Structure 1
Amino acid sequence: MSESFEIGAPPIAVVLKKSARARRFSLRISNVDGTVSLTMPKRAAKRDALAFATAQEGWMRKHLDKQPDRIVPVFGGTILIDGAPVLLLQGQGRRVVFNAEGLAVPGTPEQLAGKLRAYLKTMARDRLSDASERYAAQVGRKVSRITLRDTRSRWGSCTSDGNLMYSWRLVMAPRAVQDYVAAHEVCHLLEMNHSAAYWANVAAVYPDYQAQRQWLRDHGAQLHRVVL
């Protein structure tokens, strides 16, 4: 179990993690969301961890200053859907409405993030479920279950019993990228690895996969910058 503490002014939040395999203190700053993590040996004292982090405050601030700004959705601003910016409007009633004018979200500014997240997750489930079933039919396999998460280290995963997991943030990427990730995970139903045979299967169902992989390398971090 992890805990956190703050150092300096303005404060830097540091997540403290104990590891039985760690032999020394080590700091890591996530390129995705700027989270600062300090891993410490299991038997080390917390006061020593605090002293180590304090000594590294300058290093942390230097690297945090290079982090891209986080994006907080606001009415009048935009949100990416299918790789294109969509205007966020203050809607009426109880339902989110998506049309040519933009995305109308009912409620207060404080409720915007929660309602927007719920809507995007529903949209992502529909898109990725349809794509998964389509590619599964092409390779002659069946999908057992699909779950959505807000993962940081991967866009999707596949288990040997046919369960697929996707990051719901993929709905902000172009449709071609969404389709590629679905094809990528479905092909793991044939090969639970990244061998040459596996990539041959991906190329067979999605020939243009290299361009979509590159899009995620170039722009994937931008999807995680949105605070939802």
Structure 2
Amino acid sequence: MRRNDRALRLRLCIDQAEAGVIVTLPREASEAHGLAFVRERATWILAHLENLPPRVPFVPGAVVPFLGVDHRIYHVGAVPAPVRRDHGAILVSGPTDGIGTRVLAWLRAAARSELEHRATACARTLGLRAGRITIRDTRSRWGSCSAAGNLSFSWRLILAPDHVLDYVVAHEVAHLLVPNHGPAFWATVDRLSGDVAPARAWLAAHGRMLLRYG
């Protein structure tokens, strides 16, 4: 349950990533009221939870998107070697124990490389320099820009299509120049990444699904 003082009424939504339910309470609503609200809608909740796609662990045979293109994970031998990508496959060697950990580390490293490169290029276009760039596993936002000019991004962006990375990076780098979301901000984002509508639409439709991987 979450409390939101600006909420006008009780609200319920399905969390696709965690296969659970999020209940938003307005300021005056009690938790008991929220629980009763959930019980009243139990049939609806169960029906939606049963239809959710399953979580996708990083194991051999799993299909994982990389820059929006599906790749299948393969275990290719006991001799340790770097994880690599080849023609729609993610090839993992070494012991079978810890395959998921190695795939995750590889994806995070790939995300760092892609996002740092794009953020540096965008900042240079504006005649600016980004501060520290960090890669996290955030659940509520894809990126952020601090008052000090430090940028943070979700590693899960490496799973999304290329144009989505471009948009999120442009969005956060634009905040180095314009701290709000006014017309000047969106003009800057457009300058950096072009038409942002397809990327925004993709995130709205598919973004939460990225949280089910790993």
Match of 2:106 among 111, 119, 122: 119
Unaligned runs of 5+ in 1: 1-15
Higher relative strand content: 1
1:143: Cα distance to partner? 1.1
Deviations 1:180-227 (A, max 9, x none): 21111100111112111111111112223222222322332332222x
Matches of 1:23 and 1:187 in 2, distance apart? 32
Unaligned runs of 5+ in 2: none
Aligned to 2:177: 190
Matches of 1:31 and 1:99 in 2, distance apart? 28
Query: 1:187/1:61 Cα in 2 relative to 1: closer, same or farther (>3 Å)?
Result: same
Match of 1:96 among 61, 78, 82: 82
Q: Secondary structure at the match of 2:58?
A: coil
Query: 1:89/1:195 Cα in 2 relative to 1: closer, same or farther (>3 Å)?
Result: same
Aligned to 1:199: 186
Deviations 1:98-139 (A, max 9, x none): 242522213455522222111101110111011111101111
Q: Secondary structure at the match of 1:189?
A: helix
Matches of 1:49 and 1:215 in 2, distance apart? 31
Aligned to 1:5: none
Matches of 1:166 and 1:147 in 2, distance apart? 6
Aligned to 1:216: 203
Aligned to 1:137: 124
The one-letter amino acid of 1:69's match is P
Would you say the 8 A contact 1:28–1:38 is kept in 2? yes
Aligned to 1:165: 152
Matches of 2:195 and 2:34 in 1, distance apart? 48
1:149 aligns with 2:140: no
Structure 2 length normalisation: TM-score?
0.80
Would you say the 8 A contact 2:118–2:169 is kept in 1? yes
Would you say the 8 A contact 2:17–2:210 is kept in 1? no
Aligned length: 210
Matches of 2:163 and 2:104 in 1, distance apart? 21
Matches of 1:132 and 1:111 in 2, distance apart? 31
Matches of 2:12 and 2:194 in 1, distance apart? 40
Would you say the 8 A contact 2:92–2:103 is kept in 1? yes
Query: 1:190/1:20 Cα in 2 relative to 1: closer, same or farther (>3 Å)?
Result: closer
Q: Secondary structure at the match of 1:87?
A: strand
Query: 1:162/1:76 Cα in 2 relative to 1: closer, same or farther (>3 Å)?
Result: same
Q: Secondary structure at the match of 1:73?
A: coil
Aligned to 1:85: 70
Would you say the 8 A contact 2:143–2:172 is kept in 1? yes
The one-letter amino acid of 1:120's match is L
Would you say the 8 A contact 1:96–1:103 is kept in 2? no
Query: 1:206/1:96 Cα in 2 relative to 1: closer, same or farther (>3 Å)?
Result: same
Matches of 2:123 and 2:9 in 1, distance apart? 46
1:177 aligns with 2:172: no
Cα root mean square deviation, aligned: 3.0
Matches of 2:43 and 2:94 in 1, distance apart? 42
Matches of 2:167 and 2:34 in 1, distance apart? 43
